[in-house]
């Protein structure tokens, strides 16, 4: 059963009780209070989310980064992380996993404050990130988009997918696209961008974990609106064109449907976008707009709709 | 390598940064603020923490209960839980897992507020519980014990270990000790007791997850003190004597070294214990005391030291 349907079933089954402002369905949960606390959890499992061969020095920071990215998407500041580790016998040094994670935590001012450690048949990394909103402010949710909002993305997309191909396809090779490989192995959570976009008054935001197309559809659905994304406007990451060329792929579709970029996808008024863009370290690019009508996504190229085989990266369960 | 040593290595490698009051090493992390937030994470993995045959209706609430128990041990109130679920193909209905978890959440006033859902080669349940302390109060930590404090335990112990034997040893059978089996499958977090013990001024507290003996040693070590626990004072749970008799075990040692009870182990002045005990729904029993000297545990019977084969339930990794 597709992950999205199951999540909707679960969301329908649980009730929001006092003390929680935002529950299942956004990038992170928000606890009531001032400052409001923000909490998110991602489970990474060997051979599902990463190869058994992935170096522990890369795996630790990535597991933390994908959670920090969810905090960024709410416009929150990281405070702490809890790390649950299920470790098969003889599978690398735990110290190597923590070294890179602690370095990233230090860089963003967070504390690895607890967790769990246990034996396991396969490597499991369960990270919970806890953040805080500035006092007196509200988070940016997925469902706040309005008709006519620009859809923008920070930084560049497609790099992580190109990097994965470079790592795995012997016809490509990591040397063709070293920056894309780095993007796949060491994603950078857009914390400063998330905070600035929240302060600027962005209407809706989420992080691009499963591909721009699928995540734009999520934003549109949550906002009860339609969305148009123009493939020709996508800011392609370094190496995307090269890897797409070498593997006979469409570079724009690779960038639209490839996961793991961890950029921020945001809906906001045009004037807001124009005003805030120069202040974002990673930059901001308009890639489409929210429309009225059915909550669906139209991928456009040269004014015509394009229908890819799949919208993005979804782990069926 | 034993879990405790690895945890100490990890704790030595990470740094406490602003915003976090208590990090690795206690039952839960504490985030600075008023009210202070409390966060804990437990990873449960098939064939390590539970059998593949365990009913989803029992597994869901147990996964949540063990985390709530950590909040109880800090004297905190539960607010929310994040649930990460790694699900092998064809392995039961997710709805069954959430049904019991949501029922327990409702009973304690918490919200299942988010999490993650993914495919996995074995069943993984990663629960994070988030709680809150009453405004203006501090948590009860493991290391606050003082020489001469009574060591007390809520409720009764050994039941969960007896229940596991009843479920797994064909020479026993679940019908010999139905209450012990219930204790194993459906532990009850001692939230009211934790709060009352905190309010009464308990010096140190943790929950009994791995056995009274091992957890008393943890409390003693964290407090930098010695501990004496008198096996003859242990309040044995229903079915413990019967199951011990049927399997040729020492009932008191079974109760001292069997895990999964999720009672609270607490160090507090005698007068405080005597005053608060009648108000605790599950009751409170004195089982020993903290002493000066080396941070070690002495298990006593008839005034003589007893040395069991193992102190409790530790998952080596």
**Chain A interface mutation, best of B39, B133, B316, highest count of A Cβ atoms under 10 Å:** B39
The domain tally of chain A equals 2
The structure tokens listed for B107 are: 């009973």
Contact present, A84 and A161 (Cβ < 8 Å): no
Q: What is the pLDDT of residue A170?
A: 86
Q: What is the pLDDT of residue B316?
A: 41
Put simply, the chain B residues between 55 and 84 with a CB less than 8 A from any chain A CB are: 79-80, 82-84
Q: How far is B56 from chain A (nearest CA, A)?
A: 15
Q: Are A64 and A208 in a shared domain?
A: no
Q: Is residue A266 part of a domain?
A: yes
A236: contact with B, CB 8 A cutoff: no
Q: Are B49 and B100 in a shared domain?
A: yes
Dihedral of the alpha carbons of B191, B196, B201, B202, in degrees to the nearest 10? -50
Q: What is the pLDDT of residue B312?
A: 75
Q: What is the pLDDT of residue B314?
A: 57
Q: Is residue A293 part of a domain?
A: yes
Answer yes or no: do B119 and A85 touch at CB < 8 A: no
User: What is the distance between the alpha carbons of residues A98 and A109, in angstroms, rounded to a whole number?
Assistant: 16
Contact present, B208 and B266 (Cβ < 8 Å): no
Q: What is the pLDDT of residue B9?
A: 82
Q: Is residue B137 part of a domain?
A: no
The structure tokens listed for A36 are: 């409001």
Across B173-200, average pLDDT: 95
Last residue of a domain, one of B99, B132, B165: B132
**Domain enclosing residue B50, as ranges:** 3-132
Residue B130: C-alpha distances to residues B28, B42, B133 (Å): 9, 12, 10
Q: What is the pLDDT of residue B315?
A: 47
Contact present, B265 and B144 (Cβ < 8 Å): no
Q: What is the pLDDT of residue B151?
A: 98
Answer yes or no: do B117 and A14 touch at CB < 8 A: no
Q: Model confidence at A178, in pLDDT bands (50, 70, 90)?
A: very high
Of the candidates B2, B80, B77, B98, the residue with the CA atom closest to the CA atom of residue B41: B80
Put simply, the chain A residues between 126 and 185 with a CB less than 8 A from any chain B CB are: 126, 128, 130, 132
Of the candidates B200, B194, B208, B189, the residue with the CA atom closest to the CA atom of residue B76: B194
Q: Are A261 and A180 in a shared domain?
A: yes
> Cβ contacts (< 8 Å) between A83 and chain B: which residues?
41
Is the backbone peptide bond immediately before B160 cis, with ω within 30 degrees of 0? no
Answer yes or no: do A84 and B43 touch at CB < 8 A: yes
Q: Are A70 and A158 in a shared domain?
A: no
Q: What is the pLDDT of residue B4?
A: 60
Q: Are A236 and A206 in a shared domain?
A: yes
Q: Are A248 and A146 in a shared domain?
A: yes
Question: For chain B, what percent of residues have pLDDT higher than 90?
Answer: 83
Q: How far is A134 from chain B (nearest CA, A)?
A: 13
Q: Number of A:B CB contacts under 8 A?
A: 246
Q: Is residue B27 part of a domain?
A: yes
Strands (E), B199-316: 204-207, 226-230, 264-268, 284-291, 297-301, 304-306
Q: What is the pLDDT of residue B313?
A: 66
A125: contact with B, CB 8 A cutoff: no
**Chain B interface mutation, best of A87, A114, A122, highest count of B Cβ atoms under 10 Å:** A114
Q: Is residue A150 part of a domain?
A: yes
- Mean pLDDT (chain B) is 93
Q: What is the pLDDT of residue A16?
A: 95
The CATH number assigned to the domain holding A291 equals 3.90.650.10
pLDDT tens-place string over residues A144-166: 999 999 999 999 999 999 999 99
Q: Are B68 and B26 in a shared domain?
A: yes
Q: Are A53 and A174 in a shared domain?
A: no
Q: Is residue A173 part of a domain?
A: yes
User: What is the distance between the alpha carbons of residues A216 and A93, in angstroms, rounded to a whole number?
Assistant: 38
Q: Are B166 and B116 in a shared domain?
A: no
- The helix/strand/coil state of A155 is coil
Q: What is the ipTM of this complex?
A: 0.93
pLDDT at B109 over 90: yes
Q: Is residue A312 part of a domain?
A: no
pLDDT tens-place string over residues B289-307: 999 989 999 999 999 999 9
Q: What is the pLDDT of residue B159?
A: 97
Which of B13, B42, B116 faces A116 most closely, judged by CB atoms? B42
Q: Model confidence at B7, in pLDDT bands (50, 70, 90)?
A: confident
Lowest mean pLDDT among A128-142, A192-206, B92-106: B92-106
pLDDT at B248 over 70: yes
pLDDT tens-place string over residues A44-96: 999 998 888 888 999 999 999 999 999 999 999 999 999 999 999 877 688 88
Q: How far is B28 from chain A (nearest CA, A)?
A: 7
The CATH number assigned to the domain holding A106 equals 3.30.1330.10
- The helix/strand/coil state of B216 is helix
Last residue of a domain, one of B107, B132, B157: B132
Q: Model confidence at A310, in pLDDT bands (50, 70, 90)?
A: confident
Q: Are A125 and A157 in a shared domain?
A: no
B103: contact with A, CB 8 A cutoff: no
Strands (E), B161-256: 204-207, 226-230
Q: Are A292 and A178 in a shared domain?
A: yes
pLDDT at B16 over 50: yes
- The helix/strand/coil state of A79 is strand
Q: Are B45 and B155 in a shared domain?
A: no
Last residue of a domain, one of B132, B157, B175: B132
Q: Which of A49-58, B47-56, B238-247 has the highest mean pLDDT?
A: B238-247
Q: What is the pLDDT of residue B250?
A: 96
Across A166-182, average pLDDT: 91
DSSP string, A207-237: E-SS-HHHHHHHHHHHHT-EEEEEGGG--BP
B270: contact with A, CB 8 A cutoff: no
Across A106-129, average pLDDT: 95
Answer yes or no: do A7 and B43 touch at CB < 8 A: no
- The helix/strand/coil state of B108 is helix
Answer yes or no: do A105 and B17 touch at CB < 8 A: yes
Q: Is residue B94 part of a domain?
A: yes
């Amino acid at each position: 059963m597709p992950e999205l349907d199951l999540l909707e079933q679960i969301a329908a089954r649980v009730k929001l009780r006092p003390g929680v402002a935002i529950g299942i369905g956004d990038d992170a949960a928000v606890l009531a209070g001032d400052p409001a606390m923000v909490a998110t959890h991602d489970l990474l499992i060997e051979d599902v989310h990463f190869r058994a061969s992935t170096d522990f020095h890369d795996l630790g920071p990535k597991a933390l980064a994908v959670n920090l990215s969810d905090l960024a998407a709410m416009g929150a500041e990281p405070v702490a992380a809890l790390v649950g580790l299920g470790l098969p016998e003889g599978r690398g040094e735990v110290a190597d996993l923590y070294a890179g994670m602690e370095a990233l935590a230090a860089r963003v001012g967070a504390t690895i404050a607890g967790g769990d450690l246990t034996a396991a048949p396969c490597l499991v990394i369960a990270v919970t990130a806890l953040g805080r909103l500035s006092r007196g402010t509200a988070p940016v949710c997925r469902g706040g988009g309005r008709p006519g909002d620009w859809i923008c993305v920070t930084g560049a997309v497609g790099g992580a997918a190109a990097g994965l191909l470079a790592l795995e396809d012997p016809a490509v090779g990591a040397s063709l696209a070293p920056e894309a490989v780095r993007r796949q192995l060491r994603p950078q959570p857009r914390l400063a961008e998330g905070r600035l976009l929240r302060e600027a008054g962005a209407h809706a935001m989420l992080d691009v974990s499963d591909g721009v197309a699928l995540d734009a559809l999520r934003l549109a659905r949550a906002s009860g609106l339609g969305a148009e994304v123009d493939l020709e406007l996508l800011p392609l990451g370094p190496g995307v064109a090269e890897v797409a060329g070498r593997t006979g792929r469409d570079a724009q579709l690779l960038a639209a449907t490839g996961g793991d970029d961890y950029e921020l996808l945001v809906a906001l008024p045009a004037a807001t976008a124009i005003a805030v863009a120069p202040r974002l370290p990673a930059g901001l690019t308009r890639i489409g707009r929210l429309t009225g009508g059915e909550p669906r996504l139209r991928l456009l190229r040269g004014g015509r709709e394009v229908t890819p085989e799949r919208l993005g990266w979804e782990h069926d369960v």
